[in-house]
């Protein structure tokens, strides 16, 4: 009989399954499924459904058909999750899940259409002075109602939530979040999440009102007063992040109003708690999580807040905490700021030397392979991989003595290589800019300086008398003045005579016996003879042909 009933379920016929699990047949079906030959101990499905399962009707439901759908949805879920989970194929499992969902949707729509039911529900919730088990059952039903409403069509969702708000949903939420019982807080947070998924803008507008301000204050209070169940605090963080997410709202005006409200009223207080010695580790981690989110998603507003409230100083104070998870959180915050590649954060980090304390803590940690070691190395790896040039140069120049001992990974060696590459690239780009702007005297001097800076001389402190560097930064052989003279003559011969430029030496101190120009300015070809140096003791010789031509033309 067990095999017959099991195979009927595997036929995947929704109508047949619905008939088998109705009130008249459910116990017979469960009795047959108890005799599973693959299980050594007989399960007591009928006993569980009769004696253990209790249907709590917190508000009377007068429609018998709705009650039957509630029972049937539970029975289908019980078969799917308890009785036959090992033998159901994907298609049958999906059919059973869809049947549960459709039954729940029918129940929610029917209860929504019953005007007296919703009104009676909120009257009972608000009438209780002592928040006991019955009151928790009422708010638990309300939480389930909001959760199931998310699966309806948008028009039905809007209608249901508007009705709940009309009857005092937010007053009920205030009672739940202000209740010391963790279960009440969880119910309230679940209802808030359902509202957020339905319409974030609606919730933001309510929170900006006077009554909503109190509700949001209670929500933030879940961060500052850590409950026994830390999962509640993390749930609060997730809800606040959803509220602060710019993509959760299409209205920029409403979003800006809410951000101004949050930054002005609450975020500053949370940041101040970073410096309090009495703040617990769990709360500090929650605040750091929220700060990292704000920095990543609120750009200019977050930058202004960081600057005005000395956020970096308060965050880096966590590096001195004995609990190692807090220094890790501080480094991760820096990593989040650097990951944005914003000039503001990079300049602030460099000018304030914010890496000083990070590197000091990293050095004290030594070669211990722990989470702190990993996050600092990952930070350096990110700077190297993304080639954030100012930070690459800053780390190499300021912390080389601290980081040079890292030999168990290639991160810092590769970072130094990247710094050298960046310097070479900068010099090349600078030369291209100078060449494009002209080749005047100042430009030639700047190019020569860049060439010298871009070359690493491979010598032992003294250059041989026969070596030097030409104007392009290349090594050349020098053999006294004759070598220079020969090189100059070869260069001049390579240029036609009528195209050779005149050499202006008006600023050089020398004696000119052949020229009538007292300032020493010459036109035409200038050559350098003898062992004289190029500049300083140059001997200028004017060709006879040029001199004769000048006199014939009457030039003095």
At 190-200, the pLDDT tens digits run 999 998 888 88
What integer pLDDT is reported at residue 207 of this predicted model?
A: 83
Mean pLDDT calculated for residue range 473-482: 39
Neighbours of 273 (CB within 10 A): 17
Check if the beta carbon of residue 155 is closer than 8 Å to that of residue 195. Answer: no
Neighbours of 23 (CB within 10 A): 11
Q: What are phi and psi of 515, to 5 degrees?
A: -95, 145
Distance CA 292, CA 73 (A): 43
Which segments of 200-297 does DSSP mark as H helices, in order? 200-208, 210-224, 230-244, 252-262, 268-272, 281-297
The yes-or-no verdict on residue 481 having pLDDT over 80 is no
Distance CA 189, CA 143 (A): 9
Which segments of 128-226 does DSSP mark as H helices, in order? 133-149, 154-166, 169-177, 182-198, 200-208, 210-224
Lowest mean pLDDT of 13-27, 216-230, 398-412, 490-504, name the range: 490-504
Distance CA 20, CA 172 (A): 40
The yes-or-no verdict on residue 220 having pLDDT over 90 is no
Mean pLDDT calculated for residue range 61-81: 92
Of the pLDDT bands very low, low, confident and very high (cuts 50, 70, 90), residue 155 is confident
Of the pLDDT bands very low, low, confident and very high (cuts 50, 70, 90), residue 512 is very low
Residue 162: HSE in the Cβ half-sphere, 13 Å Cα cutoff: 7
Tell which wins on pLDDT, 262 or 442.
262
pLDDT digits (tens, 9 = 90+) for 373-428: 999 999 999 999 999 999 999 999 999 999 988 888 899 999 999 999 988 776 66
Distance CA 59, CA 90 (A): 37
The yes-or-no verdict on residue 115 having pLDDT over 90 is no
In the numeric block, which tokens belong to residue 122? 């909120």
What integer pLDDT is reported at residue 469 of this predicted model?
A: 36
Tokens 């080389």 belong to residue: 400
Mean pLDDT calculated for residue range 86-108: 93
- Closest-CA residue to 351 (of 391, 292, 299): 391
Neighbours of 262 (CB within 10 A): 20
469: part of which helix (H) or strand (E)?
Answer: strand 467-469
Q: Is 0.75 surpassed by the pTM of this model?
A: no
Of the pLDDT bands very low, low, confident and very high (cuts 50, 70, 90), residue 368 is confident
Domain boundaries in the chain?
2-106, 475-552
The yes-or-no verdict on residue 188 having pLDDT over 80 is yes
Tell which wins on pLDDT, 485 or 123.
123
Mean pLDDT calculated for residue range 474-503: 39
Neighbours of 248 (CB within 10 A): 18
Distance CA 239, CA 196 (A): 8
Mean pLDDT calculated for residue range 543-556: 50
In the numeric block, which tokens belong to residue 110? 């029917």
pLDDT digits (tens, 9 = 90+) for 199-209: 888 888 888 87
What integer pLDDT is reported at residue 499 of this predicted model?
A: 41
Mean pLDDT calculated for residue range 325-331: 95
Check if the beta carbon of residue 283 is closer than 8 Å to that of residue 273. Answer: yes
What integer pLDDT is reported at residue 455 of this predicted model?
A: 37
State how far the alpha carbon of 146 is from the alpha carbons of 162, 178, 189, 194, 269, in Å. 11, 20, 11, 6, 32
Using alpha carbons only, what angle is made at residue 220 by residues 217 and 223, rounded to the nearest 5 degrees? 150
The yes-or-no verdict on residue 529 having pLDDT over 50 is no
Mean pLDDT calculated for residue range 316-340: 94
Of the pLDDT bands very low, low, confident and very high (cuts 50, 70, 90), residue 277 is confident
364 burial via Cβ count (<10 Å: 0-12, 13-18, 19+)? exposed
What integer pLDDT is reported at residue 312 of this predicted model?
A: 95
What integer pLDDT is reported at residue 329 of this predicted model?
A: 96
What integer pLDDT is reported at residue 394 of this predicted model?
A: 95
Neighbours of 312 (CB within 10 A): 19
In the numeric block, which tokens belong to residue 155? 């028009």
Which residues neighbour 489 within 8 Å (Cβ) at sequence distance 6 or greater? 527
What integer pLDDT is reported at residue 427 of this predicted model?
A: 62
The yes-or-no verdict on residue 371 having pLDDT over 70 is yes
Average pLDDT, the chain: 79
Lowest mean pLDDT of 20-29, 91-100, 540-549, name the range: 540-549
- Closest-CA residue to 176 (of 160, 158, 157, 194): 194
412 burial via Cβ count (<10 Å: 0-12, 13-18, 19+)? buried
Check if the beta carbon of residue 201 is closer than 8 Å to that of residue 250. Answer: yes
Which residues neighbour 180 within 8 Å (Cβ) at sequence distance 6 or greater? none
What integer pLDDT is reported at residue 36 of this predicted model?
A: 87
In the numeric block, which tokens belong to residue 423? 């310097």
Task: Specify the length of the chain in residues.
Answer: 556
Tell which wins on pLDDT, 433 or 224.
224
Of the pLDDT bands very low, low, confident and very high (cuts 50, 70, 90), residue 290 is very high
What integer pLDDT is reported at residue 440 of this predicted model?
A: 53
Distance CA 554, CA 435 (A): 40
Share of the chain above pLDDT 90, in %: 43
What integer pLDDT is reported at residue 446 of this predicted model?
A: 54
What integer pLDDT is reported at residue 527 of this predicted model?
A: 40
């Amino acid at each position: 009989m067990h095999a017959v009933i099991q195979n009927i379920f595997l036929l995947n016929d929704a109508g047949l399954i619905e008939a088998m699990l109705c009130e008249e047949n459910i116990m017979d079906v469960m009795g047959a499924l108890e005799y599973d030959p693959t299980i050594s101990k007989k399960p007591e499905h009928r006993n569980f459904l009769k004696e253990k399962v209790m249907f709590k009707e917190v508000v009377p439901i007068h429609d018998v058909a709705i009650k039957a759908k509630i029972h049937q949805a539970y029975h289908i879920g019980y078969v799917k999750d308890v009785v036959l989970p090992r033998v159901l194929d994907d298609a049958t499992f999906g059919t059973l899940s869809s049947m549960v969902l459709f039954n729940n949707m029918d129940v929610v729509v029917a209860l929504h259409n019953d005007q007296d039911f919703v009104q009676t529900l909120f009257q009972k919730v608000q009438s209780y002075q002592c928040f006991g088990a019955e009151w928790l059952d009422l708010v638990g039903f309300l939480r389930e109602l909001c959760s199931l409403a998310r699966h309806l069509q948008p028009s039905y969702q809007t209608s249901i939530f508007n009705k709940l708000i009309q009857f005092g949903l937010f007053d009920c939420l205030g009672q739940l979040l202000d209740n010391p019982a963790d279960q009440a807080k969880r119910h309230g947070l679940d209802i808030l999440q359902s509202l957020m998924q339905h319409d974030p803008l609606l919730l933001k507008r309510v929170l900006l009102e006077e009554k909503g301000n109190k509700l949001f204050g209670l929500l933030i209070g879940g961060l500052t007063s850590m409950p026994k169940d830390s999962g509640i605090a993390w749930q609060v963080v997730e809800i606040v992040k959803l509220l602060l997410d710019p993509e959760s709202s299409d209205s920029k005006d409403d979003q800006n109003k809410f951000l101004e409200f949050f930054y002005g009223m609450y975020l500053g207080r949370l940041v101040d708690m970073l410096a309090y010695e009495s703040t617990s580790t769990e709360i500090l981690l929650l605040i750091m999580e929220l700060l990292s989110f704000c920095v990543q998603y609120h750009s200019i507003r977050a930058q202004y807040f960081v600057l005005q409230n000395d956020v970096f100083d308060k965050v880096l104070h966590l590096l001195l905490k004995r609990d190692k998870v807090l220094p890790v959180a501080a480094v991760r915050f820096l990593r989040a700021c650097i990951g944005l590649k914003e000039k503001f954060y990079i300049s602030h980090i460099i000018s304030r030397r914010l890496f000083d304390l990070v590197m000091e803590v990293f050095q004290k940690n030594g070669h211990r392979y722990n989470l702190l070691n990993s996050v600092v190395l990952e930070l350096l790896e990110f700077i190297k991989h993304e080639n954030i040039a100012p930070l690459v140069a800053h780390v190499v120049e300021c912390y080389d003595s601290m980081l040079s001992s890292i030999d168990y990974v290639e991160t810092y060696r590769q970072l130094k290589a990247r710094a050298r590459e960046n310097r070479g690239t900068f010099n090349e780009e600078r030369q291209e800019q100078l060449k494009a702007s002209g080749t005047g005297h100042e430009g030639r001097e700047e190019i020569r300086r860049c060439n010298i800076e871009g070359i690493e001389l491979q010598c032992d402190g003294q250059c041989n008398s026969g070596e030097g560097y030409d104007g392009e930064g290349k090594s050349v052989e020098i053999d006294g003045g004759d070598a220079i003279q020969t090189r100059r003559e070869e260069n001049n011969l390579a240029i036609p005579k009528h195209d050779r430029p005149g050499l202006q030496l008006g600023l050089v101190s020398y004696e000119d016996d052949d020229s009538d120009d007292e300032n020493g300015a010459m036109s035409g070809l200038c050559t350098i003879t003898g062992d004289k140096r190029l500049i300083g003791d140059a001997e200028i010789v004017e060709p006879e042909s040029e001199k004769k031509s000048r006199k014939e033309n009457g030039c003095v």
